[in-house]
Amino acid sequence: MNPSWSLDSLEFKAQTSFISSNAFFRYNKNDTNRQVIEQARFYNNTRTENILSTLQLPYQKAELISYLEWRKTGLSNKSSNWMAKAANIFWTNTKGVISKKTTDAVRAYVFEKYQCDYAKGKVLNFAKRFLKYLTKTTFDTRYVAFELFLEKPKRLKERKLITNKIVTKEDIENVPTVIRQAEHNNEIDHNQSLQFTALVLFGAYTGQRSYSTIKQLIVGQFKAALYNEKPVLHIQSHQDEIRMAHYCPLHPQVVEAILPLVNDRTDNELMFMHLVCQITIAILRPVSQGLFRQLNSPVLFEWLSHAHSNLRV
């Protein structure tokens, strides 16, 4: 009996199958090449439309004004003026079109007009935040990509060397010495001497700002601090330049100088306004300017007398 299959027929089927497979792979290969070409063409077209160097995105002046008014809400006049100035610079150089050319023009104008890094940052940060605002309001993330052209260049910070303007420990120790000498010479009385000494020590040990903080402190705050086991002064938000309440530990030397000043005084009385007004102008400004080495009794108390005679309550 002849078998239902033979070696010749099997070989024929194998050859037929091999030819079909080659045809299939050739077809798939051509199809894949066609897809790659189409994808590349689509990518190139899209890239040509969205590349930053040629891309131009519009915006309306009304959008800039709306953003400006929103940013100015609750700000001081000084900050509001900066916002308005930044908006005017941005519009003058862009005229309703966001592109590499216009953002480069904004940056170039800012660097030419302002020397101060603070001023440059004000304008450029306003511009970058406006781009983020447009991104969110238009649902178009391409606006924020132009931040790249509004960055400030990074630069090495200048290393500052110690100069004769630096206030040293010896400088600070010199002021109480001058105050005691003035009391000894009857140029000031004992109460004034206590006031001046406490003020200088408090400023030197705590580093609090003279105008925004020290001159606003009241006696009650120091009484509350001195009653604690570890004296810590609570400075309220309205007494701080950046409106941040904080705690200020008191050094034992400061405590020793403050104690005589809280007796027989009301809690709401300004701590450093007893007998003289605005003593911080006379004492702490020289401290910050590093003039201790030049201080002598006549010079120091010429300042104190001026403050005392013109600002007495």
Q: Which fold has domain 169-311?
A: Topoisomerase I; Chain A, domain 3 (3.90.15)
Helices 190-206 and 279-289 cross at an angle (nearest 10°) of 40
For position 201, what pLDDT does the model report? 86
Least confident span in 55-69, 87-101, 207-221: 207-221
Which whole-number Å values give the CA distances from 145 to 65, 132, 140, 217, 265, in the listed order?
Answer: 22, 9, 10, 49, 62
Domain boundaries, the chain: 56-150, 169-311
Residue 98 has pLDDT above 90, yes or no: yes
Burial of residue 200 (number of CB atoms within 10 Å: 0-12, 13-18, 19+): buried
Q: Which of 1-15, 21-35, 220-234 has the highest average model confidence (pLDDT)? A: 220-234
60: three-class secondary structure by DSSP:
coil
230: which residues sit within 8 A by CB, 6+ positions away?
Answer: 249
Question: In the chain, where do the E strands start and end?
Answer: 56-58, 97-99, 232-235, 246-249
In CATH terms, are 56-150 and 169-311 the same topology?
no
Give domain 56-150's CATH number out of 1.10.3470, 2.50.20, 1.10.150, 3.30.70. 1.10.150
Residue 156 has pLDDT above 80, yes or no: no
Residue 29 has pLDDT above 50, yes or no: yes
Note the pLDDT tens digit of each residue in 191-215: 888 888 888 888 888 888 877 788 8
For position 26, what pLDDT does the model report? 54
